Structure 1
Amino acid sequence: MADKSKGAAAAPSLLAGGNPQIAKGEGDAPVQAYIAAMPDWKSEVGRRLDVLIERTVPGVRKAVKWNSPLYGGEGEGWFLGIHCFKRYVKLAFFRGTSLDPVPPSESRSNDTRYFNIHEGDDLDEQQLADWVRQASQLPGERM
């Protein structure tokens, strides 16, 4: 019987909180690897978010850092991050207090606001796209 592990890439492991452990990298490939490794229903949410962000901000810059996909403008810093938890996907708007309306969840960082997506949530893609558009027009976070 052939060894199926030869030549096949190992699936990324999940960290204790359910977040995929993906090597940091610039561009679309590491972000797509992260999305593919998101467990269960979260992977579909990740795909929907990625498409929404690309459609809203053509030419958006992507990277994975600290096991989280980041979205930003070239030379402008990062305006949005995504992170998986066991029960939800967290969107971090790094200048979220400047968005209208302000995303609902507070952060320890004064400027950052969160929006959490749980399994079965009916996503208001129009509101998400509006937040993404607004966030992309603000100075990004340097990381």
Structure 2
Amino acid sequence: MAGRKTAATETGANRQAREPVLLSGGNPQIAKGHGDAPVQAYIAAMPGWKSDVGRRLDALVERTVPGVRKAVKWNSPLYGMEEQTWFLGIHCFAKYIKLAFFNGASLQPPPPVESKQPRVRYVHIHEGDALDEAQLVDWVQQASRLPGERM
């Protein structure tokens, strides 16, 4: 019939409408929300190799901190112990993933990358980097016991 969309056309249009936009630098634009679903949407939208690393990081945090709270705010997944306080954030950049430990200066040893904010420390993960999961688990455990950042 003239003017009628086929199932294949509609599926393609729907798929295109659901694909998240990548902001400058390659960070997925995901609607803010609390819980696992928006975090999983962010991870699924992480481009290329970053999505696999995002799944590994998310699973590592869940294993390390049973009952961890999750949210997406400012186009970044956040992990915390209470509804509005967060100890870890993830953000995609063009060439790496940034893990932000909001009280990272209190961790021993502190994560390697300093911030302009004195309490915050970062870990940058580049394509092909071997993840030191034992160190990440230790930092996540320590960070989850510290007061979270209210956002």
Q: What TM-score do the two structures reach when normalised by structure 1? A: 0.96
- Length, aligned pairs only: 143
Counterpart of 1:53, as a letter, is: V
- Give the structure 1 partner of residue 149 of structure 2: 141
> Residues 13 and 75 from structure 1, CA distance in 2 versus in 1: closer, same or farther, beyond 3 angstroms?
closer
Cα RMSD after superposing both structures: 1.2
Identity, % of aligned positions: 72
Runs (4 or more) in structure 1 with deviation over 3 Å come to: 5-9
Please point out which of 110, 130, 138 is paired with 1:130: 138
CA distance in structure 2 between the partners assigned to 1:5 and 1:90 by the alignment: 33
| Structure 1 unaligned blocks of 5 or more | none
Shift of 1:7: 4.8
> Residues 23 and 63 from structure 1, CA distance in 2 versus in 1: closer, same or farther, beyond 3 angstroms?
same
| Structure 2 unaligned blocks of 5 or more | 1-5
1:23-62 map, 5 Å:
23-62=31-70
- Give the structure 1 partner of residue 122 of structure 2: 114
More helix by share: 2
Question: Counterpart of 1:128 in 2: which secondary structure?
Answer: helix
CA distance in structure 1 between the partners assigned to 2:142 and 2:84 by the alignment: 14
- Give the structure 2 partner of residue 68 of structure 1: 76
Contact 2:69 2:83 in 1 (8 A): no
Q: What TM-score do the two structures reach when normalised by structure 2? A: 0.91
Counterpart of 1:47, as a letter, is: R
Contact 2:79 2:89 in 1 (8 A): yes
